[in-house]
Structure 1
Amino acid sequence: MNDSTNCSERPTNTPKPAERVRFHLSGHSRPYDPTRQAIRPDLADLAEAEHHFAPHYAKPADWLASADTILRASADSDAEERQRLKAGDRFALLDITGGWAWGYAVDGHVVGYVEAAELSPAGRDRA
């Protein structure tokens, strides 16, 4: 008597291969204001997910300006000034790269870059 099982039979409890789901983007791209909406080619504020596509979304973290500083249009100390932040002003942080923090000033929702050394997480005791 041969106790081998037939390899061509699929056990009934094995899941079926996943069906391919195809989708496409449709409609027109929506314009946005880069000074008021936190959207970059690689990352966007999670609040924009319903209206704008980005490869990644981030939930803003609540940070504070630890000193008076400048919110700039790009990660460059010579970039256009968008807004001045005073010590204690809230900043919604979305990304830190190369010493620059990207996000928006909570007061006025102005998007831009701040030198990361000029910020500290909200709620953390500052010496």
Structure 2
Amino acid sequence: MSGATREGTEYAVPAGVLGLKGPVEKPAPGTLPLRGDLAHIALAGSHLAAHYVIPHQRTVGAAGAELRLAPRADSEAFTTLAAGSRFELLDVAGEWVWGCPGPQGPSGWCRASELATEGA
């Protein structure tokens, strides 16, 4: 993906924006939507990842959503997203989804059932 743009998205990557210029400090877990295997497309010009993902726009359900660092019930929730707020889904693993409210974070795992049903 060398400077390509993805038309029709909020996170189009402008031509020439790719090309990291040296080491970048690794953000703390749960901050930016960045993992070793993937990252939010908006981070393509500033952080290196194996894959960049264009998020699927979702909405947090009526009870809110608890973000966790791991996709497990015994992983402590570090923040709660308000009901009706935006959730950018980046990955799905069974009953768990990984994402963020936006490219600035925070990012984490929540149960898919904590998101509003599409089209509802």
Give the TM-score normalised by structure 2: 0.70
Deviation digits for residues 6-28 of structure 1 (CA, Å, limit 9, x no counterpart): xxxxxxxxxxxxxxxxxxx8733
Note the residue ranges of structure 1 that are not aligned, 5 or more in a row.
1-24
RMSD of aligned residue pairs (Cα, Å): 2.2
1:82–1:110 Cα contact (<8 Å) kept: no
Deviation digits for residues 75-121 of structure 1 (CA, Å, limit 9, x no counterpart): 11111212112321211111111211101134x83111110122136
Q: Tell me which moved more, 36-45 or 82-91.
A: 82-91
Q: Map residues 36-115 of structure 1 onto 2, 5 A cutoff.
A: 36-68=31-63, 69-106=65-102, 109-115=105-111
Highest Rg: 1 or 2?
A: 1
Note the residue ranges of structure 2 that are not aligned, 5 or more in a row.
1-19
Partner of 1:125: 119
Deviation at 1:60, TM superposition (A): 1.6
Q: How many residues align?
A: 99
Q: Percent identity?
A: 35
Partner of 1:15: none
Give the TM-score normalised by structure 1: 0.67
Choose between structure 1 and 2 for higher RCO, CA contacts under 8 A separated by at least 6 residues.
2
2:67, 2:87 → 1: CA distance? Answer: 10
2:91–2:99 Cα contact (<8 Å) kept: yes
